[in-house]
């Protein structure tokens, strides 16, 4: 019988791994919590994710964080996947369990919990821009949080249509499609806008009562949103909240979100 590592180890697997802040954030949280854990970052080709996760399991790692194309590839490798991971089509957090590796996706929770610091999404209509893995996770979590309705826009019309159909199948919040434009006109009923795509887009018809969130910590907030007086939830805040969720999932210890935000800002600077 083999024993596990002398310390709990978490792996960050990415493709490419350069520029990924996860190890830096996790190490700061580990230090603050006084845990004797270690974090390693590895560059893994998507076609080798099965081998990489088998190594994580074989060496007794506590789990791993995934980024880039590895997230979709891992969905078909883990022993079990959460409903959110299956709906969104990707895995961002893998934990070792008695029944094998279990995959989760916390992108949507990170956005919704960040929004809750500014408003309750219950009963509000949301516009989700982006129907990829992150956009799907955000739309699902908003629906589960009691959003009154969800409008979806994506430059790839087929992805947007599929997300609308999948949301309709949940029978939670009504879902509608907004035709793509480089300048999206925000419908009057919308109170929350979430940009979950790297595609350049501007917004028209913004109003001061709208809360606009952008999931990317490396992208400036839309100037038209500032000019309109919108409440802004930037990617630094969202990424810090998500990192805290991931940290607690793996360690059982709460992390200081403000500390993580400052660490992320420091890393990106």
- Dihedral pair phi/psi, residue 241, rounded to 5°: -65, -45
Beta carbons within 8 Å of 163's beta carbon, 6+ residues apart: 128, 131, 135, 136, 139, 152, 154, 175
One digit per residue, pLDDT tens: the chain, 269 residues?
Answer: 355 567 999 999 999 999 999 999 999 999 999 999 999 999 999 999 999 999 999 999 999 999 999 999 999 999 999 999 999 999 999 999 999 999 999 999 999 999 999 999 999 999 999 999 999 999 999 999 999 999 999 999 999 999 999 999 999 999 999 999 999 999 999 999 999 999 999 999 999 999 999 999 988 899 999 999 999 999 999 999 999 999 999 999 999 999 999 999 999 98
Rounded Cα distance, 76 and 50, in Å? 9
Report the run of H or E that residue 236 belongs to, with start and end: helix 235-251
Rounded Cα distance, 135 and 3, in Å? 40
In order of start, what are the domains of the chain with their CATH numbers?
8-105+237-268 (3.40.50.10860), 108-233 (3.40.50.720)
105, 94 in Cβ contact below 8 A?
A: no
pLDDT of res. 219: 87
pLDDT of res. 119: 95
- Dihedral pair phi/psi, residue 120, rounded to 5°: -90, 120
């Amino acid at each position: 019988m083999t024993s596990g590592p002398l310390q709990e180890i978490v792996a960050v697997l990415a493709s490419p791994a350069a520029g990924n802040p996860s190890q830096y954030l996790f190490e700061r949280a580990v230090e603050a919590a006084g845990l004797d854990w270690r974090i390693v970052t590895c560059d893994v080709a998507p076609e080798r994710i099965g081998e990489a996760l088998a190594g994580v399991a074989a060496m007794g790692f506590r789990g791993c964080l995934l980024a880039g194309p590895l997230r979709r590839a891992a969905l078909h490798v883990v022993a079990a996947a959460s409903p959110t991971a299956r709906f969104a089509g990707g895995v961002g957090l893998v934990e070792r369990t008695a029944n094998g590796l279990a995959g989760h996706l916390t992108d949507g929770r990170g956005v919704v919990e960040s929004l809750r610091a500014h408003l309750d999404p219950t009963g509000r209509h949301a516009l989700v821009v982006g129907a990829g893995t992150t956009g799907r996770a955000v739309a699902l979590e908003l629906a589960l949080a009691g959003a009154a309705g969800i409008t979806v826009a994506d430059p790839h019309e087929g992805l947007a249509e599929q997300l609308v159909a999948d949301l309709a199948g949940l029978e939670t919040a009504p879902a509608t499609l907004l035709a793509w434009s480089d300048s999206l006109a925000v419908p009057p009923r919308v109170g929350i806008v979430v940009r979950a795509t790297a595609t350049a887009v501007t917004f028209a018809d913004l109003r001061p009562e709208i809360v606009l969130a952008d999931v990317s910590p490396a992208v400036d907030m839309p100037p038209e949103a500032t000019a309109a007086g919108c409440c802004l939830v930037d990617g630094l805040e969202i990424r810090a909240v998500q990192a805290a969720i991931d940290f607690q999932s793996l360690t059982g210890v709460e992390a200081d979100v403000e500390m993580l935000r400052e660490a992320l800002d420091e890393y990106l600077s």
